[in-house]
Structure 1
Amino acid sequence: MVSLQSYYKVVKSFGPFGEHAVNASWVAVQELKKLGLGGEVDLHVSEVPVEYQTVQSLVPSLWKKYHPLLVVHVGVSGMATTVTLEKCGRNHGYKGLDNSSFCPDSQCCIVGGPDCINSVIDMESVCKRVTASGLGVAVSVSKDAGRYLCDFTYYTSLYLSHGRSAFVHVPPLGKPYSGEDLGRALQAIIQEMLELLDQAEEKIHCQQHFH
């Protein structure tokens, strides 16, 4: 097993926007912070304003500061009824104005970057494992994070981390889950993600050893 003690785990969540005066994603992340991820994982959380330019500066600074094993971004979706694991981030199609009434002129995250970047995490596997654990919170997988700040942040993070990022969309509070439910779901999901990463690192190490 690869020790996680020397690594950081960063969880980012978004602040209020639009009709979401209380952002369920930030409430869920606060609950996760209370629960923790076990003694071997150094968990850092931060709240992100719903602004393209802030994301463009903040995401690289987090990677530079913490050198995390994994960054998990959490956002709220008014359309979601399940906790949704996003498989990939998209580079183009950002036309919606942010909280500062700003939108990138290029309407893309990284000029010249690939159209789509997948997470190294197998989201289908995470979904199956968490569902089988009897958590009591429905989990699903999506290929479209919505072409707004969530998607923009996810793509930017995936690009910088070579895929070592994840994005989780949560439904608004009470529709149907409480903040505590969402916190428990995040804990279970992230623990599975770290386990999968650990297994992948171990496999790579073994392959290098035998060559």
Structure 2
Amino acid sequence: MDKPRRPVVVTGFGPFGEHAVNASWIAVQELEKLGLGDDVDLYVYEIPVEYQTVQRLIPALWKKHSPQLVVHVGLSGMATTITLEKCGHNVGYKGLDNCRFCPGSQCCVEGGPECIDSIIDMDTVCKRVSTLGLDVTVTISKDAGRYLCDFTYYTSLYQSHGRSAFVHVPPLGKPYTAEQLGRSLQAIIEEMLHVLDHSEGQINCRHEH
């Protein structure tokens, strides 16, 4: 019997600051070429580095695709590894976006929890991907940086009750090529879907803390 097709949305970010080319969007385009296997419908989007657009776009993507999983990919100028972010934060957004805007409340969702964890066990994903022999290093983080990456992640986690993930990539060539980033994303997201399948029966209200 054919497995039902699973919608998965993956986003990267557009240019900002000194990053005229955003490695996250390049990586997502590489992933799109590779695909996620026959039973996954992959939808990719480039997100502008704008708070208000994020607040409008994330709910729209959930509504449009009812995805099994949304994975946001972002660029960290400081990163030298591919980093899986465990949680998104609600408060502390002071950095101006590409429109020179930042939320007056400096938070994503007024009255929302301080921090929301992904329901995906990033430690498990990290361990599994690290055994695949990809020529990249994958690490874990609990701080997505209180800028558009963290803001997007929290907004998405809030919207999806934790059914979102965030992956930070380093700038292109520092040290990884676009192709390496794309292949790594493919492996990471396949593992995330695997972990999600196995945890579906055990999901409780972990995101309510």
The 4+ residue runs of structure 1 with deviation greater than 6 A are: none
Letter in 1 for 2:144: A
Cα distance in 1 for partners of 2:166, 2:89 equals 12
Once the two structures are TM-superposed, the CA of residue 4 in structure 1 deviates from its matched residue by: 4.9
Write the mapping of 1:189-208 to structure 2, written as runs, cut at 5 A: 189-201=188-200, 203-204=201-202
1:96 maps to 2:95: yes
| Aligned equivalent of 1:9 | 8
Q: What's 1:151 paired with?
A: 150
Q: Which residue of 2 aligns with 1:181?
A: 180
Measured against aligned partners, the alpha-carbon deviations of 1:21-41 in whole angstroms (never above 9, x if no partner) come to 110000000000000000000
SS in 1 for 2:139: strand
Distance 1:24 1:85 in 2: 16
Matches within 5 A, 1:8-157: 8-157=7-156
Which ranges of structure 2 fall in alignment gaps of 5 or more residues? Answer: 204-209
Quote the residue 1:163 is aligned against.
162
Cα distance between partner residues in 2 of 1:95 and 1:29 = 27
- The TM-score, its normalising length taken from structure 1, stands at 0.94
CA deviation string 1:36-68 (max 9, x = no partner) = 000000000000000000000000000000000
The structural deviation recorded for 1:91 is 0.1
Distance 1:153 1:128, change over 3 A: same
The amino acid that maps onto 1:99 is N
Structure 2: distance between partners of 1:42 and 1:55? 22
Q: What CA distance in whole angstroms lies between the structure 2 residues aligned with 1:204 and 1:164?
A: 14
Helix, strand or coil for the counterpart of 1:124? helix
Give the C-alpha shift of residue 167 in structure 1: 0.2
- Cα distance 1:121–1:57, how it changes in 2: closer, same or farther (>3 A)? same
Report the CA distance between 1:127 and its aligned residue: 0.4
Aligned-pair distance for 1:200?
1.7
- Cα displacement string for residues 57-105 of structure 1 (whole angstroms, at most 9, x for unaligned residues): 0000000000000000000000000000000000000000000000000
The one-letter amino acid paired with 2:165 is A
Compared CA separation, residues 179 and 64, structure 1 to 2 (3 A): same
Q: Secondary structure at the match of 1:97?
A: coil
Q: Structure 1 vs Structure 2: percent identity of aligned residues?
A: 72
Aligned AA (1:93): G
Against the structure 1 CA distance between its residues 197 and 176, is the aligned structure 2 distance closer, same or farther, given a 3 Å change threshold?
A: same
How far, CA to CA, are the matches of 1:197 and 1:127 in structure 2? 14
Shift of 1:204: 4.8
How far, CA to CA, are the matches of 1:3 and 1:148 in structure 2? 38
Amino acid at match of 2:112: G
